[in-house]
Amino acid sequence: MIVTTQATITSEQSVLLQAHLERLGTNALPLEWNGAQNYVLGDTALDEHDIHALTALGADRVISLKQQYQVVSRAFQPANTIVNVSGVTFGGEQVPVIVGPCSVETEDQMAAVVAGARRAGCTMIRGGAYKPRTSPYAFQGHGELGLELLCDAAHPKGLPVVTEIMDIRELDAFMKHNVDAIQVGTRNMQNFSLLKELGATRIPIILKRGMSATLSEWLMAAEYIASGGNSQIILCERGIRTFETAYRNVLDVTGVIVAKKETHLPVIVDPSHAGGKAWMVAALAKAAIAVGADGLLVEMHPNPKESWCDADQALSIEEIEDLVPQLDAVAQAVGRSILA
Amino acid sequence: MIVTTQATITSEQSVLLQAHLERLGTNALPLEWNGAQNYVLGDTALDEHDIHALTALGADRVISLKQQYQVVSRAFQPANTIVNVSGVTFGGEQVPVIVGPCSVETEDQMAAVVAGARRAGCTMIRGGAYKPRTSPYAFQGHGELGLELLCDAAHPKGLPVVTEIMDIRELDAFMKHNVDAIQVGTRNMQNFSLLKELGATRIPIILKRGMSATLSEWLMAAEYIASGGNSQIILCERGIRTFETAYRNVLDVTGVIVAKKETHLPVIVDPSHAGGKAWMVAALAKAAIAVGADGLLVEMHPNPKESWCDADQALSIEEIEDLVPQLDAVAQAVGRSILA
Amino acid sequence: MIVTTQATITSEQSVLLQAHLERLGTNALPLEWNGAQNYVLGDTALDEHDIHALTALGADRVISLKQQYQVVSRAFQPANTIVNVSGVTFGGEQVPVIVGPCSVETEDQMAAVVAGARRAGCTMIRGGAYKPRTSPYAFQGHGELGLELLCDAAHPKGLPVVTEIMDIRELDAFMKHNVDAIQVGTRNMQNFSLLKELGATRIPIILKRGMSATLSEWLMAAEYIASGGNSQIILCERGIRTFETAYRNVLDVTGVIVAKKETHLPVIVDPSHAGGKAWMVAALAKAAIAVGADGLLVEMHPNPKESWCDADQALSIEEIEDLVPQLDAVAQAVGRSILA
Amino acid sequence: MIVTTQATITSEQSVLLQAHLERLGTNALPLEWNGAQNYVLGDTALDEHDIHALTALGADRVISLKQQYQVVSRAFQPANTIVNVSGVTFGGEQVPVIVGPCSVETEDQMAAVVAGARRAGCTMIRGGAYKPRTSPYAFQGHGELGLELLCDAAHPKGLPVVTEIMDIRELDAFMKHNVDAIQVGTRNMQNFSLLKELGATRIPIILKRGMSATLSEWLMAAEYIASGGNSQIILCERGIRTFETAYRNVLDVTGVIVAKKETHLPVIVDPSHAGGKAWMVAALAKAAIAVGADGLLVEMHPNPKESWCDADQALSIEEIEDLVPQLDAVAQAVGRSILA
């Protein structure tokens, strides 16, 4: 249950309102959302008398939600959240394509990536600095040096960046290098400590769905971030785990449309991890746009065969240049666009 | 392993060739495919000397296949199979949309369905006569009367029909009423007795994927039909079962593209069962076309709320009329078309 | 909803009762169960007045069930069903072990199997005559000859047999050779035509769970058989399909205990298919008995390496002789027994 | 690939050996394991000449492993690892039962838990202080106060404790209160930063399997800990996620036996989370012991209905007292024991 407040509420009223909520035994949690004050209540039963009293104290709406997720649900906020990542917007008519390598390797590599992205009409760069690798003996990423190479390549050309955080102790470095958006990876989707800390920032977060996370778990992970007051959340579907062995994951297009119905947050798709093979990316990316995705996150490498990780799934710069107009055609067919 | 024969082979040569294959202990199974004679061999090792001898006896190619599926694999036949269902073709540039109710109910219902389909630009009709219901106490379909109502409504208007078979003893009725294509449902995908009998016919078969069938199992089910010499097989993806509980199935777009890579058979999509809810059908249908599906199978009912089964997932005729041009736009964006 | 009748009901009363149920619009389906007459009703709302009238006409209990399954549910029949297969009972204190090869191969093989089973204390024989093989090119079983070899080996030694049916047209041969129990395999669990026909017999049926069948689907498949009046149904858990790739299936012990709670039917376990490897069978069989399984179905072959199918998972006769006393120890620990 | 060293190797030899491994380009990672020095190599090809040179420098065995997991694999260490948690051993003949509440609530609660555990013959206590809750609005645990209540109740009575860590910043508090074993929960199984830090300690770790983690991912998570030199790792199977909706998870007994074959680490089972319902725990616990589990982790609460979380799945103290002798009987049947 969420209690919103009237636009005209004063801070004195707000104190009285919260005190009254506590007297009602509601365990009210104050939550600022897009500049307005709200209170998230537990499973509390309020009667008409209670609601009348709350309204007199400055409450606006008392919203009862049947799902566990509250602030991220469309029942709370019917309008789309538009997430603005240093000028690139997710959740509107435009469908941004984020490209870049699995891991940041060298200055030359990143220069080529950024130049290629601009030629292709892609407006944001990805690249891994802290890498969650299945094996402790595999390359674990350049760490802070990776952040530096990534930002030094992209920022001067006016492109924002996103990169994955694995440990909250890395956050200072992310802020020092002005990382524009932080990715929470599949394996950390339910790392609640990390989510809470990111909720305390106001940096845009790209929250990947866990390999076998239900829609509800995914949205509750977003709720962890949102409950700290950070509304800048982008959900990212990246393929789910199934019984099938002939391909690594199944891109869950059904999940994309249900997510977009249940939440006001933008939902983007990572067709590279969803397929696991470069030859699948084009068709999956088209399906994602056709189904209504608000953006794409695509692995691109100047020389995929030389990629230090995930070599099988990266597209070359030329392939991306070839693909983007095709994606734009599909976007146009569903009333949206990729190229400005 | 498959041995194909030269176009000029005589029936005498063919007898000698088969005899030689048997002498080599290959368990050769003669298989006619699109008018040409082939032999499917077990896991036999043939050396160069053997192959030379086979060629002298009229063999053309000796194709060694690493997958279990043989005749349905692209390695055997690189070109797409085009399945022609009484004039409607699957596997080419055109993307037919099959519409109709979960179950054939009444003459009026079917008249409305056929008229609506024609207005909307849909070229084929579906409708259940023998219904696989989870409960033995639920309506089991009209049986042969359903076949009659279906064919009597569609055939005079020039539209072919598809309907599901549940038991090989129903085949005579299917043939009596000139059913144009026979559907093998999800629950019978590995009913091998049924598949073998259908392989002995030359009627087009729409083979739905089992709820949790792997790609390999699906293609092996097709191989059962193909091994009888029936090449008129259309695969139909209809959503897979996963861990998710917020929606009934997941439309496996990844499976569609991998299937189209592995086999030459057309692959269509049933977005109605894949989603289980009418509001999901439009977006899933667009994703299916964007990803490369060769056709759609969509539940449509003149009055969905009154539908005798699957009422939640049927679209109304008006919704279909509204949807088809949108689907055509996506088809055009990927170089295909729905409307003639 | 089920209406049971008083023990003293006459056939005239029964006619009147059914007529009244029809007047109430209940779609009542008469169903004889263990010699008593019942009526299964659709989702009908009956008020107290209705129930009073029914009682006056010979109705005993009016049982409202929240699950789809009716006759097979414990809510309908609280006591365990004991299935008697030619003297071997399932569902009581004793835990029978059924052994035998994947497929019936030769007279010598079957003689060895039967002799080994008796030495080991196993009381029933399995063996495939009609084989559901993934590939149409693989050995499909000896067919009726297999039934003959199986019964000729086992019956003279006093052991009942179970073997799989794939097509209802095979039923005559099953009856001619006095097959004691009929197995419905994983792939045919939802072959509703077949289930209905088997419901019309009074032969014990072993109903394997589908690879990804939910508990509800499995019990509804049993309901199809039961709705024909055949109460002699044994459920068989044989491993479910999951995301895991390091082993073929997961033996669902949780499913066994939930099944035994929800239904009065005996539930046995096939540890051979559940594991897919001979070395796993002993541990899985122990887990099955510890969790409460009412029997085991184990692949045994006189010479596993020479087995014509599933060679990896069969135990040798010696291994079975070694295993049975270990299983008996676990059975004793949970208050049951394997050896007489 | 792992290179072990001779027992007599000197530290000078060790330096030369590592230098030589680096010259060979092997990316050798030094890894101390149970007091002996080893080197883990990447996918390096070494020829006979190389191996001869390594042996001369103090290498003992050069072990080539086909799986990704190295140090935790049985191929590296054939003998069981026995993990000693302050006197309670896992991996030997004895099967310890760990009991305690979902979350540490009060001093009285914990006093009752410890007294009950001792009466029942359970030798170790669990209890959550830092709780990973699906909802940010749910009780998140007492934090450090919970550690204090847990240890203050158990340690004076001679019982070691295990409790979950969610964030590496909590480690100091764990050490301050002498937590005997640290649990890594399902949701953090692939929190690689956390695993690495725990690998640097020598505290026993109970590593729960992720909800949908493959065996390989689970063992690689253990490898992250082991690669830091911490050999005190206990794996814990707690039910996997499947397509089934009638019960929360499926206890993967197959996974237990495959894990015990692939790794030398002890494998315990949590039947409480595996079932999700108190009535299932007894049967699942018996299955776990029958299949070979090296311990059990069971939720117990003095008053389950009043439990602050997971109230459905906790057993009462009386139920545990009743259960343990039954578990001991099953343990005896498979050659092990629970009660000393």
pLDDT tens digit string along A4-51? 999 889 888 888 999 999 888 888 889 999 888 999 987 677 888 988
pTM exceeds 0.90, yes or no: yes
What are the residues whose beta carbons fall under 8 Å from the beta carbon of B139, sequence distance 6 or more? B103, B131, B133, B308, B309
> How would DSSP label each residue in C152-177?
HHHGGGT--EEEEE-SGGGHHHHHHT
Residue B340 pLDDT > 80: no
Percent of chain B whose pLDDT exceeds 70: 100
Residue D340 pLDDT > 80: no
Question: Which positions in chain D touch C242 (Cβ < 8 Å)?
Answer: 240, 242, 250, 252
Gap between the Cα atoms of B325 and C80, Å rounded: 59
Give the model confidence (pLDDT) of C115-167 as tens digits: 999 999 999 999 999 999 999 988 899 999 999 999 999 999 999 999 999 99
Task: Considering only the beta carbons, identify the residue of A280, A330, A332 that sits closest to B290.
Answer: A330
Q: At what angle do helices B253-262 and B215-226 cross, to 10 degrees?
A: 40
Question: Which positions in chain B touch D212 (Cβ < 8 Å)?
Answer: 243
Q: Tokens 């030495």: give the residue.
A: C119
Tally C-beta pairs within 8 A across A and C: 8
Question: Which positions in chain C touch B167 (Cβ < 8 Å)?
Answer: 168, 193-194
| Chain B: residues touching A (Cβ < 8 Å) | 212, 214-216, 239-247, 249-255, 257-258, 261-262, 274-275, 279-280, 283-284, 286-292, 326, 329-330, 332-334
- Determine the pLDDT at residue D129: 97
Write phi, then psi, for D99 (nearest 5 degrees).
-130, 160
Whether residues D137 and A220 touch (CB distance < 8 A) is answered with no
Q: Mean pLDDT over residues D310-314, rounded?
A: 90
Q: Tokens 């674990």: give the residue.
A: A140
Q: Residue B64's pLDDT band (boundaries 50, 70, 90)?
A: confident
Q: Mean pLDDT over residues D137-161, rounded?
A: 96
SS3 B304: helix
Q: Mean pLDDT over residues D221-246, rounded?
A: 96
Distances (CA, A) of B244 to B248, B277, B282, C98, D215: 8, 15, 21, 36, 21
SS3 D37: strand
Chain B: residue nearest A276 by CA? B254
Whether residues A243 and C242 touch (CB distance < 8 A) is answered with yes
Gap between the Cα atoms of C333 and C261, Å rounded: 21
The tokens describing B142, both together, are 């009209």
Question: Which positions in chain D touch A27 (Cβ < 8 Å)?
Answer: 137
Stretch (H or E) spanning B20? helix B11-23
Chain D: residue nearest A193 by CA? D167
Smallest CA-to-CA distance from D286 within D304, D298, D303, D299 is with D298
ipTM of the complex: 0.95
Q: Which chains are adjacent to chain D, needing at least 3 Cβ pairs under 8 Å? A: A, B, C
Q: Residue B66's pLDDT band (boundaries 50, 70, 90)?
A: confident
Question: Which positions in chain C touch A212 (Cβ < 8 Å)?
Answer: 243
- Name the average pLDDT for chain A: 95
Distances (CA, A) of B16 to B13, B59, D291: 5, 11, 57
Gap between the Cα atoms of B265 and A237, Å rounded: 30
D254 Cα to chain C: minimum distance (Å): 6
- Determine the pLDDT at residue D81: 98
Q: Mean pLDDT over residues A132-137, rounded?
A: 92
Q: Tokens 């606006």: give the residue.
A: A60
| Chain D: residues touching B (Cβ < 8 Å) | 212, 241-243, 245
B331 Cα to chain C: minimum distance (Å): 34
Distances (CA, A) of B12 to A98, B4, B6, B18, D225: 64, 16, 13, 10, 70
Q: Mean pLDDT over residues D119-147, rounded?
A: 95
Task: Considering only the beta carbons, identify the residue of A212, A241, A243 that sits closest to C212.
Answer: A243
- Determine the pLDDT at residue B23: 87
| Chain D: residues touching A (Cβ < 8 Å) | 27, 29, 40, 42, 68, 70, 132-137, 166-169, 187-188, 190-194, 196, 211-212, 217, 220, 223-224, 227, 241
> How would DSSP label each residue in C33-66?
ETTEEEEE--S----HHHHHHHHHTTEEEEE--S
D152 Cα to chain B: minimum distance (Å): 41
Whether residues D251 and C254 touch (CB distance < 8 A) is answered with yes
Chain B: residue nearest C227 by CA? B136
The low-confidence residues of chain C, meaning pLDDT below 70, are 43
Whether residues A240 and B239 touch (CB distance < 8 A) is answered with no
Give the model confidence (pLDDT) of A296-322 as tens digits: 999 999 999 999 888 899 999 999 999
With beta carbons less than 8 A apart as the criterion, state whether A296 and A328 touch: no
Residue B251 pLDDT > 80: yes
The tokens describing C62, both together, are 């009016």
Residue B313 pLDDT > 90: yes
Whether residues D216 and C247 touch (CB distance < 8 A) is answered with no
Q: Mean pLDDT over residues A50-67, rounded?
A: 89
Residue D28 pLDDT > 90: no
- Determine the pLDDT at residue B319: 98
Q: Tokens 């001979």: give the residue.
A: C278
Q: Which chains are adjacent to chain A, needing at least 3 Cβ pairs under 8 Å? A: B, C, D
Interface test with B, best of D243, D244, D247, D248 (most B CBs within 10 A): D243
Alpha carbon of residue C258 to chain centroid = 16
Give the model confidence (pLDDT) of D319-328 as tens digits: 999 999 999 9
SS3 labels along chain A: CEEEECCCCCHHHHHHHHHHHHHCCCCCEEEEECCEEEEECCCCCCCHHHHHHHHHCCEEEEECCCCCCCCCECCCCCCCCCEEECCEEECCCECCEEEECCECCCHHHHHHHHHHHHHHCCCEEECECCCCCCCCCCCCCCCHHHHHHHHHHHHHHCCCEEEEECCHHHHHHHHHCCCCEEEECHHHCCCHHHHHHHHCCCCCEEEECCCCCCHHHHHHHHHHHHCCCCCCEEEEECCECCCCCCCCCECEHHHHHHHHHHECCCEEECHHHHHCCHHHHHHHHHHHHHHCCCCEEEEECCCHHHCCCCCCCCECHHHHHHHHHHHHHHHHHCCCECCC
Whether residues C243 and A245 touch (CB distance < 8 A) is answered with no
Whether residues D135 and A223 touch (CB distance < 8 A) is answered with yes
Q: Which chains are adjacent to chain B, needing at least 3 Cβ pairs under 8 Å? A: A, C, D
Smallest CA-to-CA distance from A39 within A61, A7, A12 is with A61
Q: Residue A328's pLDDT band (boundaries 50, 70, 90)?
A: very high
D165 Cα to chain C: minimum distance (Å): 27
Gap between the Cα atoms of D303 and C220, Å rounded: 37
Alpha-helical regions (H) of D62-214? 107-120, 144-154, 171-176, 192-199
Q: Which of A11-15, B120-124, B199-203, D142-146 has the lowest mean pLDDT?
A: A11-15
- Determine the pLDDT at residue C339: 87
Whether residues C68 and B193 touch (CB distance < 8 A) is answered with no
Q: Mean pLDDT over residues B301-305, rounded?
A: 95
Task: Considering only the beta carbons, identify the residue of B240, B275, B333 that sits closest to A329.
Answer: B333
C147 Cα to chain D: minimum distance (Å): 33
Whether residues C332 and D330 touch (CB distance < 8 A) is answered with no
| A44 class by beta-carbon count within 10 Å (0-12 exposed, 13-18 middle, 19+ buried) | middle
